Structure 1
Amino acid sequence: MTDKIVLRPATPDEIPALLALWARAAKGTSITDDAVGVAALLARDPECLIVAAPADDPARLLGTVIAGWDGWRCHLYRLAVDPDHRRRGIGAALLAAAEQRFTALGGRRADAMVLDDNALGHRTWQAAGYQPEPQWSRWVKPLQG
C-alpha cells in the first residue's frame, strides 16, 4: 500500500487542479476534459470522481478515478496518478474505492475505457484483474461541434 493517503470525492473548487493533474498524468484527452464537463459530472453525481491526496496535505491531488454508475453499468474513467507518485499503491487504492462504490450501488461488473496505445494503462488494468473484450468496439458521436 502507499504512504498515508485520503480517498474522497472531488469538489467543484478542485476542477482546475483535476484538469492540471490529468494533463500531467493521463494519456489522451476527451471532449469533456474541461471545466464545464467536469462541473457537469460533479453536479450529476457528486461522489463519482474519487481523488487521492496525502493525509497530511488533503488539498494536494495525487490521483483520480471516475467511478460512473448509470443504474445499469459501472464505468471507470480517468484513472490517473501523478507521475512522481506512481508505484506506491495509489492507483490500486483508487480502483478498490471505485469497486466498493459500485458494489454498494448494486453494480455487478465494471468496465474501463483504456486507449489502445496506452501500454502503461494496459499493465495497470491487467494487474487489477481487468481484461479487454475484443468482441466489443466503442462507437462514438460528438453531440456538439
Structure 2
Amino acid sequence: MIRAFGWSDLSALHDLWRATGRTSLTEDELRVTLNQASSTLLVAEDGQGGIVGGVLGTFDGRRGWIHRLAVHPDHRRDGLGTALVADIERSLTSRGALRVNLLVMPANGSGLAFWQRLGYIPFPDVLCSKAMVAGETT
C-alpha cells in the first residue's frame, strides 16, 4: 500500500534509506522540506505495515522534481518503484507540473535504465553545486 508519510514513519524511513545506501535527511531537514506546500513524501508498506519504499516529490511552479526514490532491496523488481513513481507523478501533475525532472548519478547504470524504462530521457545538462557550509559534501 502506498500512502502519505506520517511522522511516526521517520525511524522506518531512515532504516529504508540506510538499507538502500542513501544518506538520511535529518528530522529538521525533512521538516523544512515537508513544510513547503509543494512537497509530497509517499511511503510504501509491506503486508505487515513495514516501510519498504518511499519517494519525495517537489513542485517549483513549473516542473516537478523527484527526489530520493528508495525501494528496499528485498522488494525490488516487483513493480513497487514503478508504482511509487506513478503516484508521485500524479501528485506533481495535479499541481500543474508540465515536466518532471530528476537527477541520477553517472555511476548508477541500473538506476538510469529504470528511469529510461519509465520514459525519462537523459539530458546533457551539467549539474553545478556550491557548498555553503564548510565541509559540506552531499
Q: Does structure 1 retain, via aligned residues, the 8 Å contact 2:38–2:59? A: no
- Listed one character per residue, the Cα deviations across residues 92-111 of structure 1 (whole Å, up to 9, x for unaligned) are 00010011111111111000
Residue pair 1:51, 1:62 contacting (<8 A) in 2 also = yes
Q: TM-score, normalised by structure 1?
A: 0.83
Q: 1:35 aligns with which of 20, 27, 50?
A: 27
Identity of aligned residues (%): 32
Closer/same/farther in 2, CA of residues 46 and 107 from structure 1, 3 Å limit: closer
* TM-score where L is the length of structure 2: 0.87
Q: After superposition, give the CA deviation of every residue in 1:27-78 in whole Å (9 maximum; x if it has no partner).
A: x53xx72222112222224861111112x433x1111111111222210111
1:129 to 112, 119, 127: 119
User: Take 2:39 and 2:126, find their aligned partners in 1: how far apart are those partners?
Assistant: 28
Q: Which amino acid is the alignment partner of residue 3 of structure 2?
A: R
The 8 Å contact of residues 15 and 38 in structure 1, kept in 2 or not, is answered as no
Higher relative contact order (CA 8 A, sep 6+): 1
After superposition, what is the alpha-carbon deviation per residue over 1:4-41, rounded to whole angstroms, capped at 9, x for unaligned? xx111112232222122111114x53xx7222211222
Count of residue pairs brought into register by the alignment? 134
Structure 1 gaps of 5+ residues are: 1-5
Q: Is the 8 A contact 1:65 1:78 kept in 2?
A: yes
Q: Which of 85, 95, 101 is equivalent to 2:85? A: 95
Aligned partner of 2:43 among 47, 51, 54: 51
Amino acid at match of 1:115: M
Taking only aligned residues, the RMSD between alpha carbons, in angstroms, comes to 1.9
Aligned pairs (5 A) from 1:76-91: 76-91=66-81
Instruction: Give the deviation of 1:89 after TM superposition.
Output: 0.4
Residue 3 (structure 1) aligns with: none
Query: Does the 8 A contact of 1:10 with 1:47 survive in 2?
Result: no
